[in-house]
């Protein structure tokens, strides 16, 4: 690179830095500014134009709970500032940290309540690096104009494999035999130890994990039935049953794969355990509230249930460490741990290197695309809106991201504001009370950008505005 090129690059970077300001008013990125100085080459295929929010170095990302390094690398490649912690934070520390960040990445332990989110002045997007999103107040976030993304598929195989391992371990009482041998006791027995071939597995919730488990179980020679609130096409020779009671009556093993909702709370309790086969087994790797654990304890003490494997609990420790799983956390813990043939794992269903890497990549890309392009496809609390990328040769074009209340007359008001420019493409959608509009407008100069922002900011339905170019 010549001295002239280096000087040009430095000037472009300095110009971009000087132009950065409010998250609402944005500038081109340093990379884009430099590329604009290069001579254009003719090409048969059009290049996509990278959209960036103000100077990328101004974007602050807070990552908690040891989010996978793949995500960190993706964010750093974007030029974002990344603040990384291996554990969750106490609420008062979280409130302080979240005040200035534009994005936050969490797993299952961090609780983003309304009390926490109300302090997030610049927050644009939340990434849940896991399947569940019940740890986030989704409605409050949406009303702030904050989109929430998760990874609903990436750890499905890891959870399904763990459940298969637990089915075999329960059938053979491996947990008890291992503990005995660790303490010097040789106890070679076959009583009440079974092959899983030919047994019936009942799957409650036939989504991504449940269906993966179905395939693996059939490969092991099991018969599979499943219950779901919607009709779902079976994989292999699995069969859907019409009621939960039918599944419980017929199953030797019952595995739960449902979200945490008011309908699924204590989904298995005293009546359901009574409906199960004598000597059946229970596996829960979904959410801690779906099994009534005191009822499970009583069913096992009575000999109704022969074994259980639990990976999730109503209350879980905020960090790793000795003596954190005790009766102070859940009052029944000492009773549960005293039972034979009970496998307890610390919420590790999706904790494999492969799953965490895939989750890190998926969620990090979703957050980056939302920050850089406004693409909300895959958001769990937001209208799913996207526009195709701008072509590289489209100069003086601005992308308007307008999040607003879903009330009549808004589009007319917005289009009147944008009417002095050419609206090249536009798309909007709504989700309940929240609506989201993206529009690409051309023939825009620097002075126009502030005017557009100010006029949109004065609209009564406005929740949040960003301008990208």
Same domain for 106 and 165?
no
pLDDT confidence of residue 394: 63
pLDDT digits (tens, 9 = 90+) for 72-120: 999 999 999 999 999 999 999 999 999 999 999 999 899 999 999 999 9
Do 327 and 382 have their domain in common? no
Position 34 scores a pLDDT of 34
**Is there a single domain that holds both residue 165 and residue 115?**
no
> What is the CATH number for 334?
3.40.50.720
Strand-pair partners of 48: 391
Segments forming the whole domain that contains residue 193:
157-344
144 and 175 share one domain: no
Residues 402 and 302 in one domain: no
Asked whether residue 218 falls in the same domain as residue 328, the answer is: yes
147 plus 90 within the same structural domain: yes
Reduce the secondary structure of the chain to three states and give it as a string: CCHHHHHHHHHHHHHHHHHCCCCCCCCCCHHHHHHCCCCCCCCCCCCECCCCCCCHHHCEEEECCCCCHHHHHHHHHCCCEEEECCCCCCHHHHHHHHCCCCEEEECCCCCECHHHHCCCCCCCEEEECCCCCCCECHHHHHHHCCEEECCCCCCHHHHHHHHHHHHHHHHHCHHHHHHHHHCCCCCCCCCCCCCCCCCEEEEECCCHHHHHHHHHHHHCCCEEEEECCCCCCCCCCCEECCCHHHHHHHCCEEEECCCCCCCCCCCECHHHHHHCCCCEEEEECCCCCCECHHHHHHHHHCCCEEEEEECCCCCCCCCCCCCCCCCCCCCCHHHHHCCCCEEECCCCCCCCHHHHHHHHHHHHHHHHHHHHHCCCCCECCCCCCCCCCCECCCCCCEEEEEEEECCCCHHHHHHHHHCCCEEEEEEEEEECCEEEEEEEEECCCHHHHHHHHHHHHCCCCEEEEEEEC
Confidence class for position 396, pLDDT limits 50, 70, 90: confident
Is residue 21 scored above 80 in pLDDT?
no
Residues belonging to the active site: 287, 316, 347
Instruction: Name the domain count of the chain.
Output: 2
pLDDT (tens digit per residue) in 249-280: 999 999 999 999 999 999 999 999 999 999 99
Q: What is the pLDDT of residue 49?
A: 57
Instruction: Tell me: do 26 and 144 sit in the same domain.
Output: yes
Q: Where residue 413 falls among pLDDT bands split at 50, 70, 90?
A: very high
Q: What's the whole-number mean pLDDT along residues 17-39?
A: 38
* Phi, psi for residue 108 in degrees, rounded to 5: -95, -15
Residue 42 has pLDDT above 90, yes or no: no
């Amino acid at each position: 690179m010549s001295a002239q090129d280096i000087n040009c690059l430095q000037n472009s970077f300095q110009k971009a830095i000087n132009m950065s300001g409010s998250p609402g008013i944005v500038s081109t990125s340093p990379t884009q500014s430099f590329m604009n100085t290069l001579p254009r080459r003719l090409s048969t295929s059009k290049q996509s134009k990278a959209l960036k929010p103000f100077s990328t170095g101004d974007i602050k990302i807070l990552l908690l709970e040891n989010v996978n390094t793949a995500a960190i690398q993706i964010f750093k490649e974007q030029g974002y500032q990344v603040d990384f912690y291996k554990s969750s934070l106490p609420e008062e520390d979280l409130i302080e940290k979240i005040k200035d960040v534009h994005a936050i990445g969490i797993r299952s332990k961090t609780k983003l309540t309304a009390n926490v989110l109300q302090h997030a002045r610049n927050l644009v997007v939340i990434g849940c690096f896991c399947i569940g999103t019940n740890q986030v107040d989704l409605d409050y976030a949406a009303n702030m104009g904050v989109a929430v993304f998760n990874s609903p598929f990436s750890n499905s195989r890891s959870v399904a494999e763990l459940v298969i391992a637990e089915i075999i371990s329960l059938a053979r009482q491996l947990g008890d035999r291992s503990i005995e041998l660790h303490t010097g006791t040789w106890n070679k027995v076959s009583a009440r130890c079974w092959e899983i071939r030919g047994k019936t597995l009942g799957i409650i919730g036939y989504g991504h994990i449940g269906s993966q488990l179905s395939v693996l179980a059939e490969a092991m020679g099991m018969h599979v039935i499943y219950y779901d609130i919607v009709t779902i096409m079976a994989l292999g020779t699995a069969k859907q049953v019409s009621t939960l009671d039918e599944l419980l009556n017929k199953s030797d093993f019952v595995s739960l794969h449902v979200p945490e909702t008011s309908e699924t709370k204590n989904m298995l309790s005293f009546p359901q355990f009574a409906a199960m086969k004598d000597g059946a087994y229970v596996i829960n790797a979904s959410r801690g509230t779906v099994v009534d654990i005191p009822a499970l304890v009583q069913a096992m003490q009575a000999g109704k249930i022969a074994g259980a494997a639990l990976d999730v609990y109503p209350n879980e420790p905020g960090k790793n460490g000795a003596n954190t799983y005790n009766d102070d956390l859940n009052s029944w813990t000492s009773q549960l741990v005293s039972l034979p043939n009970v496998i307890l794992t610390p919420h590790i269903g999706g904790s494999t290197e492969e799953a965490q890497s895939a989750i890190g990549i998926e969620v990090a890309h979703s957050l980056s695309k939302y920050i850089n392009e406004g693409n909300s496809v895959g958001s769990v609390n937001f209208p799913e809106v996207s526009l195709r990328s701008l072509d590289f040769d489209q100069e003086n074009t601005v992308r308007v991201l307008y999040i607003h209340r879903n009330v009549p007359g808004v589009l007319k008001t917005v289009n009147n504001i944008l009417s002095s420019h050419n609206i090249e493409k536009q798309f909007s959608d709504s989700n309940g009370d929240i609506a989201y509009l993206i529009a690409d407008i051309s023939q825009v100069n620097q002075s126009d950008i502030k005017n557009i922002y100010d006029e949109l900011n004065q609209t009564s339905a406005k929740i949040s505005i960003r301008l990208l170019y």
